[in-house]
A and B are shown apart, each in its own frame.
Chain A
Amino acid sequence: MIIIEFEAFSILSHTKVNDFVNFLEKGKIIGTICKKCGKKYFPSVTDCRKCLSNQFEWVELDNKGKLETFTMISVPPSRVQDYIPPSYNFNHYLIGIIKTNEGFRVMGWIRGLKLEDIEIGMDMKCKPLIFNRRGRKRVTIELIPLK
């Protein structure tokens, strides 16, 4: 069931995994697991590359992990106007990828850290964020340091 459109997260709106954004709105980051062979996927897929099955279930991710890499974008693309969450600086924003304890990698906006405070390998968690930008509802993922 479509509660919010995938377009709230992405440039695309048509997808078989629209529930990904519905779960984000409920505060959950989810992947998929193949019902036939058990392979787990993040980002979510409806089609298993290993056994070709299209039978899948949603599975919530362990949201804790370690920072794998990051950057601070200082020359942003123009779409930043549409996608940047409130409280982030348009001209210098940090984004990164964490590797969760289960071994999935999750990209997100890095919250609450300055460039000089960031260290690859630091403990972080990923968390959904819901906000409004230019009159549109957006859902995204933030990476937050674990104290």
Chain B
Amino acid sequence: MSLEEVKVEPKQKFLDIYQEHINDIKNGSPDYINEIREKAIKQFEILGIPDKKDENYKYTDLNNEFDNGYKMYLSPKNIKFEVNDIFTCDVPDLNTKVILLLNGWYYDRENLIHELPGGAIIGSFQAAAKRYPELVKKHFANYAKMDKEGLVAMNTAFSQDGVFFYVPKGVVIEKPIQIINILMDEEEGFTQHRNLFILEDNSEASIVVCDHTLSRPNFLTNSVSEIFVGKNADLKYSRMQNEHNGSKQVSNLYLHQERDSRVNANTISLHGGLIRNNVHVMLGGEGCENTTTGLYLTDKGQHIDNYMYMDHAYPNCTSNQLFKGVLDDFATGAFSGKVLVRKDAQKTQAFQSNNNILLTDDADIKTKPQLEIYADDVKCSHGATVGQLDLDALFYMRTRGIPKKEAKLLLMSAFAYDVIKTIQVPALQERIQDLVDKRLRGELSRCNSCQMHCC
């Protein structure tokens, strides 16, 4: 008789959890969502969790990370804390209404839906799915395709809540909406929230999303955000990732742009144990403009992996991608960016650039920019660099009396600024600059309390 345990694949564990808790999971969601859920779990059974054999996950083995037995949040368990004790949000000009998600659930259970002036709506995704079925049905699971991404399928099967944001035609939301994802518990947890943002034609909005861990245990997040940007609409989206070294997150962002829309999206990865960002952009109409940028600062054993897919499906669209990173100690990272220019997408302008600075011999980054062009009248470029700090510039500064450490900081800060200046929310731009400088100085070594006043 063998005493060897049969190893259960993490995929099977999640399939079992799904079956076991199917009532909890479906409870609270309308039928049309649960029908998609059923399709999603089947798809997840086929695709599973990506491992290194998957070309797109070659440098980040997620199968391992999901094999952890962390607690899942299948109902909104509220941990009582006073928001104002923890957050001192002193970024000026942000919308006073701060939206909190706690372990993937909309925090303010008393007020799940807020109607804003002009007919805009912000609130809990779960509540919105029930209250505005026509609106949600039209967009939900339409952009985050589960036919290729096992983790999107998994999120679609399991996720119950998240943030819903709706801006009707022609409405302009003046002040940025701030969403804070909080992870806080006494034990290790795994969250999967789902956001849906809808900007109808000719509308405008800015969204700022911050990720924070507020307690020590390890966390894993597998989030999906779908954003629909209607004709001639304008979205500014900034994400700030600031979690502790015991946190791992996979963030899937799907942007669908209609004709003549404009999107500026930035992801600033300040801190986190393992971060995998998947950004998919569909330029789904003529004349779209998209700027997607990312900045990542890693040290110790942190790992960052940015994956970007820009789909030029229509003519006359412009996309700009800029990703920059500084890797210290034995941090590792990867960047993979694909620009697809379809056959009919003439007059496309697509630019992509990834620049990295390695501060030590042990830090490592794999970078893979790719262009796939099927149209003949296009202007595209891509490039990647991996280097050290410019020694000539360092010496030049030192001969002016600037100590080596300060000179290095100035150079790193200047390197990062190229990304920071693409942030289009002015107050946030300043704050991020400040945070990045602090991070580079090593003053923000952990972020499990918001005493840092970082958002």
A binds B: no
Q: Which A residues have a C-beta under 8 Å from some C-beta of B? A: none
Q: Which B residues have a C-beta under 8 Å from some C-beta of A? A: none
